[in-house]
Amino acid sequence: MLARNLAQGRSGQIAVVVPYLDTPYFSELLQSVIRAARVSGYNVLIDQTDGDPEHERAFIADGSRRLLFDGVIFSPLGLDQQALTNRDRRLPLVILGERSSDGSFDHVGIDDVAASRQATEHLIDLGRQRIAAIGDQPYATGEAAQRRTRGFREAHAARGRTPREDLIISTPRFNRPDGAQAMEHLLDLAEPPDAVFCYSDLVALGAIRTLLSRGLRVPEDVAVVGYDDIEDGRFSNPTITTISPDKEMIATTAVERLLLRISSPTPPAGLELRAPHKLIIRESTAGRSTPG
């Protein structure tokens, strides 16, 4: 295999570049990527960028590490859309998460707007009146968060409601401390929320911790919806209602499209590829069932 790869000018390896390896969503996704690549005889190199723009730019710059890998599956955090456009066009590239395709690479993800709208509508259907959102990122590299905020707003508009701006909270990341701190702020308002849409399950876990520490009940006092369907949310107390992306399909589609780009003499047109998602209702909005 090594001899064949060398003869073809290939390494037999692909790179997967993500912002944070300690984020359960990425670790779960990586397992599926590795399995899909292995089936096709490829090894996977993994790198963590910490969202650093220069580190991320190095992977897509002209001549970047081309002897190490044949293509990149990339979840950028520090680079904006323009930076992805100004890249080495010879590098086979598939983008996950934040950025949309510019026509020269594929983008694989779920419909963040529709998913966020569904999550918010679930809270509205429960009769909640003061629904907060935790995780907005109103700057150039926060596109995924902005799409979730858009879905949050659309759900309100569709029901003839206007969301309170003071209940839409920005966070630098989608982690537990971000959720906990944002929830502290929300609870100190004169009219705190009775429901919260969190832009990740980690944010939801942090928010729930604050709610419980302040003597509030979930979901009786405040209902909580998360995003990503990570394993931690299935075993937390309470378990977390969440948007569940089809991570297996995201991974296999990304690998298939990258290998197609690697093997094609002429790069195929970039596609926007949508994986399905679903709302999974658990205890953080439905409560615990009472036996018998």
**Per-residue pLDDT at 130:** 98
What's the pLDDT score for residue 135?
A: 97
Decide if pLDDT at 234 tops 90: yes
Question: Which of 141, 47, 58, 60 lies closest to 93 in space, CA to CA?
Answer: 60
Condensed to tens digits (0 to 9), the pLDDT of residues 60-107 reads 887 655 668 899 999 998 887 778 877 888 889 999 986 677 778 899
Locus of tokens 């089936």: 39
What does the alpha-carbon distance between residue 71 and residue 259 come to, in Å, rounded to a whole number? 8
Per-residue pLDDT tens over the stretch 157-205? 999 999 999 999 999 999 999 999 999 999 999 999 999 999 999 999 9
CA 67 – CA 23 distance, rounded (Å): 29
Residue type, 61: A
Q: Which of 145, 166, 159, 172 is nearest to 227 (CA)?
A: 145
Residue 292 binned pLDDT confidence (cut-offs 50, 70, 90): very low
Q: Tokens for 122, please give them.
A: 């679930």
pLDDT at position 6 is: 56
Predicted pLDDT at 139:
83
The predicted-structure confidence for 120-163, as pLDDT tens digits, reads as follows 999 999 999 999 999 999 887 788 899 999 999 999 999 999 99
List pLDDT tens digits, range 10-50: 789 999 999 999 999 999 999 999 999 999 999 999 999 99
Task: Give me 158's structure tokens.
Answer: 């569709």
What domains sit in the chain, N to C, each tagged with a CATH number? 1-110+246-276 (3.40.50.2300), 112-244 (3.40.50.2300)
Lowest mean pLDDT among 48-62, 169-183, 208-222, 245-259: 48-62
Identify the pLDDT of residue 66. 60
Categorize the per-residue pLDDT at 291 as very low, low, confident or very high, splitting at 50, 70 and 90.
very low
Q: How far apart are CA 4 and CA 6, in angstroms?
A: 5
pLDDT of residue 166: 98
Amino acid 49: pLDDT? 93
Element (H, E) at 28: helix 24-39
Strands 195-198 and 131-136: parallel
Nearest to 133 by CA among 120, 144, 122, 143: 120
At 58, is the pLDDT very low, low, confident or very high (cuts 50, 70, 90)?
A: confident
Assigned token pair, 115 = 């998913």
DSSP for 139-152, written as a single string: STT-HHHHHHHHHH
CB atoms within 10 A of CB 12: 16
Q: How much is the pLDDT for 47?
A: 94
d(CA 274, CA 108): 6
